[in-house]
Amino acid sequence: MIALTACGGGGGSAQTAPPVRTTPSQSPLESPPQAKASPVARVLSKMSTEEKVGQLLMPVLYGTAADTVSGENQARYAAQTPAKVVAKYHLGGVILFPQNVKSVAQVVGLTNGLQQSAKGVPLLIGTDQENGLVSRMSALMTDFPGAAEIGATKNLGLSRAVAKATGDELRSLGVNLDFAPVADVNVNPRNPVIGRRAFGNDPKKVAKMVAAAVEGFGDAKIASTAKHFPGHGDTSVDSHTGLPVIKHTKAEWERIDAPPFRAAIGAGVDAVMSAHIVFPKLDPSGDPATLSKPILTGLLREKLGFKGVISTDALNMAGVRKKYNDGEIAVRAVLAGADLLLMPNDLPKAYEAVLAAVKSGRISKERLDQSVTRLLTLKQNRGLLTEAPVASAKTAAGVLRSGEHRKLAARVAR
């Protein structure tokens, strides 16, 4: 089997309409007119529990077309094609990797086909296009310098411009969510997983660059994700293969790690991705941040006031799989405060475990609805709630690696 990992998606629950007073022209025996439910609330009200659980899941699928028959899909998901996996698990999203990318026309066909297979709510189609070291769509897209190079320019306009250009190219291919920008502050020279993926080692400068990038993705009308909360910059262990421990005090977290995430939230970031790191001074339990309610709910939701989607980092990474099985990991991530379960190591087990936890009451129906509401709100904000956009290979060919974008990349490099 092919092993893939990601390290790489505002919302809030619907409000109840206030009671309507009767007027002289309205009989007290008549039902008062009700305020119209929001579009998100209307969609939510029509979903089954199974469909709601499916909205939380974003796996990687195998093949270059929605109808590609793949032994990998059959082995992992008991469904032969990407389209059948989407339908079987009522998926809310899919993440693309280089193995899904061959040509412009092919990717456009894939994303359009995946959207057609989603009955009801359109898909979030995501990828890790940070530029530089992590660029899943590099075979087709402009070769922009990575975050460290952009940060070295000290030019916020370039950070915003590169993010917009990246977002424009992704959107032309049918991708609507980028797991970028990296909001970590790279203060450890031995860091094996962040390094030049970060904008730099100065929290204030990184914060400004991150905010500019979030604004740029917004300019392109594509969802962005600040990662990896609460901060993956000071570690010498790679969370893909181990479980890093960050020894910062709360005061050091406030000074070093928090500013870029605060800036991203202030700039309107759509999602924040958790880190598979242990942060004892923020949560002494020994659980990674992805499974930590004090960190995801206490810090990110309550202290920083983030109302959007919380995404886990890839749940097939070693850093999150040290203590619990694949089903329990998914349940604990939801209980901690996560909304989007990225790349469960065992999708069927994750789906069944979360579904069983909802039916037993371990995950309350209200808690499930909170996450689904946030995901649906993100989709509404990006024009994906009721009708999926249709990508065009002809349009994409005019956007990808355009002269304007190549000049921008050269400007950053200079």
What is the arithmetic mean of pLDDT over 139-167?
Answer: 97
Tell me 14's DSSP state. Answer: P
What is the arithmetic mean of pLDDT over 250-262?
Answer: 96
Percent of the chain whose pLDDT exceeds 70:
89
**pLDDT of 27 strictly over 50:** no
* pLDDT of amino acid 116: 97
* pLDDT of amino acid 361: 98
Q: 90, 228, 232, 240: which one is catalytic?
A: 240
What is d(CA 73, CA 106) in angstroms, rounded to the nearest whole number? 19
**pLDDT of 150 strictly over 90:** yes
Amino acid at 14: A
pTM, two decimal places = 0.90
* pLDDT of amino acid 20: 36
Of 105, 220, 81, the residue nearest 163 (C-alpha): 220
**Torsions phi, psi for 189 (to 5 deg):** -60, -20
Do the Cβ atoms of 210 and 264 come closer than 8 Å? yes
Active site residue 240: yes
**pLDDT of 336 strictly over 90:** yes
Within a 10 A sphere around the Cβ of 74, how many other Cβ atoms? 15
* pLDDT of amino acid 16: 36
Helix spans in 129-180 (H): 147-153, 156-172
**pLDDT of 252 strictly over 60:** yes
What is the arithmetic mean of pLDDT over 112-122?
Answer: 95
What is d(CA 216, CA 264) in angstroms, rounded to the nearest whole number? 12
Q: 283, 313, 326, 369: which one is catalytic?
A: 313
Do the Cβ atoms of 89 and 355 come closer than 8 Å? no
User: What are the distances in angstroms from CA 318 to CA 67, 190, 323?
Assistant: 31, 19, 10
Each residue of 342-395: pLDDT tens digit? Answer: 999 999 999 999 999 999 999 999 999 999 999 999 999 999 999 999 999 999
**pLDDT of 166 strictly over 70:** yes
Confidence of residue 254 (pLDDT cuts 50, 70, 90): very high
Strand partners, 311: 273, 340
What is d(CA 271, CA 337) in angstroms, rounded to the nearest whole number? 13
* pLDDT of amino acid 6: 53
What is d(CA 394, CA 71) in angstroms, rounded to the nearest whole number? 32
Active site residue 313: yes
Pairing state between β 341-342 and 309-311: unpaired
Residue 371 in tokens: 């996450």
The verdict on whether omega for the bond into residue 344 sits within 30 degrees of 0, i.e. cis, is no
**pLDDT of 17 strictly over 70:** no
Confidence of residue 4 (pLDDT cuts 50, 70, 90): low
Each residue of 173-231: pLDDT tens digit? Answer: 999 999 999 999 998 877 767 889 999 999 999 999 999 999 999 999 999 999 999 99
Q: Tell me, which fold does domain 141-413 have in CATH?
A: TIM Barrel (3.20.20)
What is the arithmetic mean of pLDDT over 90-117?
Answer: 98
Confidence of residue 77 (pLDDT cuts 50, 70, 90): very high
Do the Cβ atoms of 237 and 270 come closer than 8 Å? no
Residue 122 in tokens: 């359109």
* pLDDT of amino acid 12: 35
Confidence of residue 236 (pLDDT cuts 50, 70, 90): low
Percent of the chain whose pLDDT exceeds 90:
83
Confidence of residue 319 (pLDDT cuts 50, 70, 90): confident
Average pLDDT for the chain: 90
Confidence of residue 25 (pLDDT cuts 50, 70, 90): very low
